Amino acid sequence: MSEFVQIGALIEKDNGLAAYGDISNSNGVIYALLENGRSNDLFSEKQFGEFGEAAILTLVIDAKQKNQVLEDLAKSLGLNEKDQGFVFEETALLKCS
């Protein structure tokens, strides 16, 4: 089993900023990165004509903490109550020296 797992989320920008603040210092999170962009097909709010502001949240986490981090992220984003975007888990990461 690998030591680390990558989790990603594509979400609305405001939700991404809030989730980054909530989750980046959580137990098991090794690295957190938030990037901003625009999406023309995922979100209903369109600030730029056909496009809405989006955030891409990338987390590298301790594999042992994966389930808890996923639950915390889903709770922070409100994914259980409404369509806010999506979260995905990548394959295990290998540490290179």
Sorted by where each starts, the structural domains of the chain and their CATH numbers stand as 4-93 (3.30.70.120)
Q: Which two tokens stand for residue 60?
A: 């590298």
Cβ-contact 82, 65 below 8 angstroms: no
User: Mean pLDDT in the chain?
Assistant: 79
Residue 74, both tokens: 């889903």
pLDDT the model gives residue 75: 86
Q: Is the dihedral of CA 34, 56, 21, 91 positive or negative?
A: negative
Across the chain, how many H-helices and E-strands are there? Answer: 2, 4
For residue 68, the tally of other CB atoms under 10 A from its CB is 14
Enter the pTM of the model.
0.77
Q: Which amino acid is at 14?
A: D
Each residue's pLDDT tens digit, 13-49: 778 888 888 898 899 999 999 998 766 665 555 554 5
